[in-house]
Amino acid sequence: MQLSVVILAAGQGKRMNSDLPKVLQPLAGEPLLQHVISAARALNPSNIYVVYGHGGAQVQAALREEPVEWVLQAEQLGTGHAVMQAMCLIPDEHTVLVLYGDVPLISGASLVKLTAAADAGALAILSVNLDEAHGYGRIVRNADGQVAAIVEHRDATPTQLQICEVNSGLMAAPAGRLREWLLGLGRNNTQREYFLTDVVAGAAQAGVRIEAVPAANALEVAGVNDKIQLAQVEAGFRRQRAGELMLAGATLADPTRIDIRGDIQVGRDVFIDINAVLIGQVHLAAGVKVGPNCVIANSRIGEGTEIFANCVLDHAVVAQNCRVGPFARLRPGTVMHREVHIGNFVEVKNTEIGAGSKANHLTYLGDSQVGKDVNVGAGSITCNYDGANKWPTFIGDGAFIGSGTMMVAPVRIGAGATTGAGSTIASSTPDNKLTFERSQQITKDAWTRPRKFGEKEKAEIIAKKIPTQKD
């Protein structure tokens, strides 16, 4: 049966105390709504309808690349009313799955069970048992154990408030039947709204089977209404992802101190120290070691490579058995071949570095092509930017760049060439030759070190060197 997904995302989220609409609040680096759309997309539905309202322009702009249909709920009259806005677009023969833009961690397995029950003709609701059920609608069963109704927390009796099985809000149903039940909704409740959960009573009156599908855990149906709940869901998500990494073969120094904000793939015997932040598409091959306080975004790290403490890698490709850091930064376009060493306070951008090359201290390599077995001395810089244009530097195989060399691009350092320490190299150098540039060294015999002046003396000296301007 064909599937249409309706995602309710019109709420204002006043408790967030934020200018950002609730469904755009970030979870693991992505908006809450993005997580829900991704879960829906995995089911290969015919259509995904996002019902929007508050902050609609912001929401649509943030997710403009998503292949969804946007449905406006101009007046906020409850969840049932929100689903009504999309139903006119959905054929009767479809199954309708209703999701919420602020319930971001729903699992694909639960959604498959939910839609399968609806495909068989039932009204399927996703339930969960909670020790603390405050704020949730209670699932009321009849004497035979069948679902008879869902009662919202505000409207529940004291006896009903003792029920631990609660409604997550997610449901699936045949579209034609759901349309009938929605048209029968009323607003006889304390909030004067059309509650989607009231369709349960309509289904029960029609003799339709109501099936409560249990969620695997409370985390996947946790809603986000304020910053505290957002932090709780974020923490739960981190625990979940950390567990997946460990099952895949990674060792985490402390699973509670890792931040995962993307699709992370790890090989066997990867080690990740505390406070690592992994963003986007990250692949850590077997035996990779990541030191404490590292940020790795959209990068591939080869087998046996070690990233020492406090490094930042962004859109970098690092081959096997390399050494990076501590305190190194690899910017977009960095490609390192095997056994390259990038040391402390070295920055690399848009540069390919050949096998066995080293830049161990205080160096900047930008817009460069560095050959194999090159040694770049401390404090050396490719001067790639003239204020308007970026220019390339080429360093041949086996070159030795003396400490403090300024390579003024565009320039080529020959294979096997050596540059003298402290040189400014503005013209290309030949292969296998020493090239250096220095001004004359001068010693001033009469010079003495400056002494510390008092405030009065300093004022007199300044007055002599910088006379006061007259009006």
Residue given tokens 């040189």 in the structure block: 423
Instruction: Measure CA 315 to chain center.
Output: 14
Q: Buried b vs exposed e over 325-347: b needs ≥16 C-beta within 10 Å?
A: bbbbbbbebbbbbbbbbbbbbbb
Q: List C-alpha distances in Å: 190 to 14, 40, 153, 224, 366.
A: 19, 32, 11, 22, 64
Instruction: Measure CA 129 to chain center.
Output: 30
Take residue 221 and report the two structure tokens written for it. 């149906």
What radius of gyration, in Å, describes the C-alpha atoms of the chain?
A: 32
Helix (H, G, I), strand (E, B) or coil at 294: coil
Take residue 254 and report the two structure tokens written for it. 């402390």
Phi then psi dihedrals of residue 108, to 5 deg: -65, -35
Strand partners for 48: 5
Phi then psi dihedrals of residue 148, to 5 deg: -105, -35
How far apart CA 355 and CA 341 sit, in angstroms, is 9
Give catalytic status of residue 315 as yes or no. Answer: no
Cα angle at 351 between 349 and 297, to 5 degrees?
Answer: 50
Shortest CA distance to 8 belongs to which of 193, 157, 164? 193
Shortest CA distance to 234 belongs to which of 213, 264, 258? 258
Q: E-strand spans in 13-93?
A: 26-27, 30-31, 47-52, 69-72
Going by the DSSP 8-state scheme, the letter that residue 197 receives in this structure is G
- Residues labelled as active-site residues: 361
